[in-house]
């Protein structure tokens, strides 16, 4: 009689842009010790997937890890799996990039280990029904995928006895259902409970198969799991128990499992693991989903009816977070540019190869979404995505003459066109349909998007903040991060804010007299005008590099509604790092007195409380001030934000003095370690108190410098008390 099989798969990954110290910690706390334990148990065989990002890092920093992997492959204990080299969400990238990403990792693993990979790790198990065809083209024969997908298709848990076949246009792949219960038991349940669950499955399906495949970070990186898995010996005890039950249980690789007789054919719906589908929902739906799920748990009906309650899908993050959508659409633009370049310059293989690596790195999935992991909320991960995309684009345009390119295109796919400007120094995107704001400003020289901020918003999990506890070292080591609520500091609930507009550049406020910097910080301030979210008319100018945006709007005042027109003109030069912005405000029908105009600009330099990033006002640095400081500077014309680590500066000068507010953007998000405060950028708001005479425009001109600190023009460096030299 055939033994019951347990097929094990392990997935290790660190995102592009993550800190070297995080890579090092994960390697030492999880990846290496896991294989050291595996080495002690020759009868335990499993499949290993690592993203190309992680392989590259380990090859440079820990070549001995490669020797260990080679040894375990030779001993038959490890089978390697492929995937997208830079761990993209495959349905979110063009098919040509799917093929390229998988081929890149295939080639790498063959070169380094002599491996021919038949199995694929699907990033975040995000499945869409068109995938089988493209996977089949890459030579993929099988992939593990959550039992959730199968339950959504109408199957019962008891139906998941082995391998299934799915296809698209006759192109087939095998899908292996990962058991959610095993994902939660390993390594958080006792070894006895895991064996009992496997025995139960064996009794119901003699000679059958169970699939376990999950993140390797659970074995040492998640809170307290290193002590649990290695200090307390859970992993050794688990492997020992598997060997002790070898009379009825055989441990095998996913590839060996895929060779078993298929159970049948299946067509899986669009899905991911249950938690991901929950996280992708908007805040209100997120909470509603949680309520119904808890109700089913309390009544003991979750297992029976849970499959009929499902969340959203991964693409929902692109609706939930405008910032993720901007990043995604920027990536698609660069992908199209590379494809065009390949068609026109097929002989330039070196540029194409380098540009592909940058583009593919810019497709790394982690900062495009957010759940219990920091993801989108981590500025250094977003910065890395933009850095790679800008590098790719810069390569593709490097041989072109110095020209200004200007176009109108629905860049973010919302039904309204954006205005795109490209020069030798900048790539800029304006959104006329939403406040006429500047939503992206990339500097080619520094490969940096200055406007990469994140607005504060309500998250469905924020209500748990009141229940969160500090990790004092006494937290249950066997609790999953999905079950324990931690916070990294107390009092974070006071910082919860829901911004009602995108935090980008040249946002036009008309503020009531009672609005001060403290009220602005809270996000709960009045708005007399309809310009922040209102649509601006884009007027093409015959002079390339000139963007004219105009809105005839209104102010709601105690003495009635007033008509006001704002026109703002942006001037780009082909090879200059200075952008000129001219504002013109006109009272259309009558004089308007005591107007408080606020022009808001938001920039992000990642570290809010670091000595090497700080503001200057009127050429003077205030003592003990940081980018996360709350500062009011009166009667000032020039503010500079310096980033000495990046050697980059932003300088903003107005030809009329103003009161300048320097306001940090702080979000509260959830990560593996619990709730945390994250700096997302700094708002610089120029406040002008003025009166408007009918038909007589008020004008103010800004000069915006964005580039290397050493290249900043003297007119910014010599500014004192608001006087521009």
| pLDDT tens per residue, range 35-48 | 999 999 999 999 99
Q: Which of 424, 449, 474 is the last residue of a domain?
A: 449
Question: Do residues 237 and 130 both lie within one domain?
Answer: yes
Burial of residue 368, with CB atoms counted within 10 A of its CB: 0-12 exposed, 13-18 middle, 19 or more buried: buried
The pTM assigned to this predicted structure is 0.94
Question: Whole-angstrom Cα distance, residue 11 to residue 218?
Answer: 10
345 found inside a domain? yes
What does the radius of gyration of the chain's CA atoms come to, in whole angstroms?
28
**Same domain? 302 vs 328:** no
- Token pair, residue 229, equals 């898995």
Q: Which residue, 87, 85, 176, 84, is CA-closest to 134?
A: 84
Q: Average the pLDDT over 661-681 and give the result.
A: 91
Can you give the CATH number for the domain in which 712 is found? 2.70.98.10
Cα→Cα distances 393→94, 221, 447, 603, Å: 17, 35, 10, 22
- Write down the pLDDT at residue 469: 62
Share of the chain above pLDDT 70, in %: 96
In angstroms, rounded to a whole number, what is the distance separating the alpha carbons of residues 468 and 359? 39
In this prediction, residue 400 carries a pLDDT of 59
Q: How far is CA 146 from each of CA 176, 216, 265, 306, 518, rounded to the nearest angstrom?
A: 8, 16, 16, 15, 48
Tens-place pLDDT, residues 472-511: 555 554 555 445 567 878 888 888 999 999 999 999 999 9
Q: Are 512 and 526 in contact (CB under 8 A)?
A: yes
Phi-psi region of 139 (alpha: psi -120 to 50; beta: other; left: phi over 0): left
Q: Are strands 171-178 and 142-146 parallel, antiparallel or unpaired?
A: parallel
Same domain as 146, residue 8 = yes
For position 130, which CATH number holds? 3.20.110.20
Looking at the structure, tell me whether residues 183 and 112 fall in a common domain. yes
User: Could you report the per-residue pLDDT of 533-548, keeping only the tens digit for each?
Assistant: 999 999 888 888 999 9
CB within 8 A of 479, min separation 6: which ones? 188
Do both 206 and 290 map to the same domain? no
723: confidence class by pLDDT, cuts 50, 70, 90: very low
Burial of 2 (0-12, 13-18, 19+ CB in 10 A): exposed
Residues 421 and 327 in one domain: yes
The answer to whether residue 337 is domain-embedded is: yes
Query: Domain check: are 55 and 200 in the same one?
Result: yes
pLDDT digits (tens, 9 = 90+) for 38-94: 999 999 999 999 999 999 999 999 999 999 999 999 999 999 999 999 999 999 999
Does the annotation count 483 as an active-site position?
A: no
Inform me whether the pLDDT recorded for 673 exceeds 90.
no
Does any domain span residue 617?
yes
Q: What values do phi and psi take at 604, rounded to 5?
A: -130, 125
Tell whether 384 and 413 lie within a shared domain: yes
620 three-state secondary structure: strand
Helical pair 95-113 and 349-361, crossing angle rounded to 10 deg: 100
Q: From CA 614, how far away is CA 616, in angstroms rounded? A: 7
Residue 426: Cβ within 10 Å count? 22
Q: What is the rounded CA–CA span in Å between residue 118 and residue 114?
A: 13
Q: What's the pLDDT at 259?
A: 96
| 541 CB-side CA count, 13 A | 16
* Least confident among 35-39, 270-274, 441-445, 467-471: 467-471
User: Sorting pLDDT into bands at 50, 70 and 90, what band is 722?
Assistant: very low
The whole-number pLDDT of residue 4 equals 95
**Total number of domains constituting the chain:** 4
Share the mean pLDDT of the chain. Answer: 93
Q: Is 237 helix (H, G, I), strand (E, B) or coil?
A: helix
Which of 421, 449, 477 is where one domain is finished?
449
Region at 583 (left for phi over 0; alpha for psi -120 to 50; beta for the rest) = beta
The catalytic position among 87, 97, 124, 128 is: 124
Candidates 598, 592, 597, 554; CA nearest to 693 is 592
At which of 423, 449, 475 does a domain end? Answer: 449
Residue that has been written with the tokens 């993929």 in this structure: 140
Is 722 part of a structural domain of the chain? no
Active-site residue, from 39, 168, 215, 290 = 215
Which carries the bigger pLDDT value, residue 674 or residue 466?
Answer: 674
Residue 661: what are its φ and ψ, rounded to 5°?
Answer: -100, 135
Q: What is the arithmetic mean of pLDDT over 149-173?
A: 95
| Confidence class for position 581, pLDDT limits 50, 70, 90 | very high
Write the DSSP symbol of residue 231: I
Q: Both 651 and 530 in a single domain?
A: yes
Contact present, 66 and 58 (Cβ < 8 Å): yes
**Does some domain include residue 386?**
yes
Report the alpha-carbon distance of residue 59 to residue 112 in Å, rounded: 10
Q: Which two tokens stand for residue 636?
A: 């000032």
Residue 1 has pLDDT above 70, yes or no: no
- Let me know whether 114 and 250 are in one domain: yes
DSSP annotation string for 289-305: HHHHHHHHHHTT-HHHH
Assess whether 632 and 602 both reside in one domain: yes
Catalytic: 124? yes
Structural domain boundaries enclosing 664: 492-717
Express each pLDDT in 243-279 by its tens digit: 999 999 999 999 999 999 999 999 999 999 999 999 9
DSSP string over 507-534: EEEE--TT--HHHHHHT-----BS-SSS
Are 680 and 576 in the same domain? yes
Q: Which residue has the tokens 């910032």?
A: 323
In a domain, 133, yes or no: yes
């Amino acid at each position: 009689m055939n033994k019951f099989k347990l097929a094990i798969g392990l997935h290790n990954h660190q995102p592009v842009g993550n800190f070297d110290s995080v890579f090092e910690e994960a390697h030492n706390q999880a990846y290496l010790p896991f294989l050291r334990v595996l080495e002690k148990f020759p009868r335990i065989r499993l499949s290993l997937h690592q993203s190309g990002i992680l392989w590259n890092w380990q090859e440079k920093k820990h070549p001995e890890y490669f020797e260990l992997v080679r040894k375990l492959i030779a001993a038959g204990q490890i089978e390697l799996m492929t995937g997208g080299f830079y761990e993209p969400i495959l349905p979110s990238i063009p098919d040509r990039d799917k093929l390229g990403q998988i081929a890149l990792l295939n080639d790498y693993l063959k070169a380094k280990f002599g491996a021919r990979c038949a199995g694929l790790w699907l990033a975040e198990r995000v499945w869409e029904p068109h995938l089988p065809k493209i996977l089949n083209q890459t030579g993929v024969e099988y992939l593990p995928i959550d039992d959730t997908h199968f339950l959504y298709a109408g199957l019962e848990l008891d139906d998941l006895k082995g391998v299934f076949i799915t296809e698209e246009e006759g192109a087939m792949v095998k899908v292996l259902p990962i058991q959610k219960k095993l994902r939660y038991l390993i390594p958080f349940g006792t070894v006895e409970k895991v064996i009992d669950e496997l025995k139960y499955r064996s009794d119901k399906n003699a000679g059958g198969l169970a699939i376990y495949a999950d993140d390797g970070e659970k074995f040492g990186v998640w809170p307290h799991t290193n002590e649990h898995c290695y200090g307390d010996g859970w992993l050794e005890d688990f492997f020992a128990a598997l060997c002790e039950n070898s009379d009825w249980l055989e441990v095998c690789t996913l590839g060996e499992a895929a060779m078993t007789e298929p159970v049948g054919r299946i067509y899986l719906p669009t899905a991911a693991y249950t938690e991901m589908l929950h996280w992708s929902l908007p805040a209100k739906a997120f909470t509603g989903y949680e309520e119904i799920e808890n109700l089913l748990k309390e009544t003991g009906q979750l297992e029976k009816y849970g499959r009929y309650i499902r969340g959203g899908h991964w693409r929902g993050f692109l609706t939930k977070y405008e910032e993720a959508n901007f990043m995604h659409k920027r990536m698609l633009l660069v992908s199209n540019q590379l494809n065009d370049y390949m068609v026109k310059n097929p002989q330039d293989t070196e540029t194409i190869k380098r540009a592909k690596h940058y583009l593919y790195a810019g497709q790394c999935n982690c900062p495009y979404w957010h759940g219990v992991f920091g993801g989108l909320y981590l500025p250094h991960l977003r910065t890395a995505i933009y850095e790679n995309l800008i590098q790719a684009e810069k390569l593709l345009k490097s041989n072109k003459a110095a020209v200004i390119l200007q176009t109108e295109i629905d860049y973010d796919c919302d039904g309204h066109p954006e205005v795109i400007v490209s020069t030798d120094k900048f790539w800029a995107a304006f959104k006329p349909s939403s406040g006429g704001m500047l939503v992206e400003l990339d500097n080619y020289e520094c490969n940096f998007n200055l406007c990469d901020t994140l607005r504060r918003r309500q998250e469905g999990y924020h209500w748990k903040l009141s229940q969160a506890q500090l990790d004092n070292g006494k937290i249950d080591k066997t609790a999953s991060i999905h079950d324990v609520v931690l916070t990294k500091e107390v009092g974070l609930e006071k910082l919860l804010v829901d911004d009602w507009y995108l935090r980008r550049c040249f946002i036009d406020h008309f503020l009531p007299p009672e609005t001060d910097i403290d009220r602005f910080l809270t996000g709960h301030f009045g708005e007399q005008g309809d310009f922040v979210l209102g649509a601006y008319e884009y007027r093409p100018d015959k002079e390339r590099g000139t963007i004219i945006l105009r809105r005839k709007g209104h102010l709601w005042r105690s003495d009635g509604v007033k008509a006001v027109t704002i026109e703002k003109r942006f001037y780009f030069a082909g090879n200059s790092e200075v952008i000129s912005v001219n504002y013109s405000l006109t009272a259309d029908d009558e004089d308007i007195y005591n107007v408080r105009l606020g022009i808001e600009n938001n920039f992000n330099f990642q570290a809010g409380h670091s000595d090497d990033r700080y503001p200057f006002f009127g050429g003077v640095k205030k003592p003990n001030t940081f980018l996360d400081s709350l500062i009011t500077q009166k009667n000032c014309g020039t503010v500079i934000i310096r980033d000495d680590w990046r050697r980059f500066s932003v300088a903003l000068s107005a030809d009329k003095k103003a009161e300048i507010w320097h306001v940090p953007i702080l979000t509260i998000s959830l990560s593996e370690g619990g709730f945390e405060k994250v700096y997302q950028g700094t708002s610089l708001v120029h406040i002008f108190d003025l009166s408007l005479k009918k038909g007589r425009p008020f004008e103010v001109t800004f000069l915006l410098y964005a580039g290397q600190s050493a290249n900043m023009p003297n007119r910014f460096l010599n500014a004192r008390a608001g006087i521009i030299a």
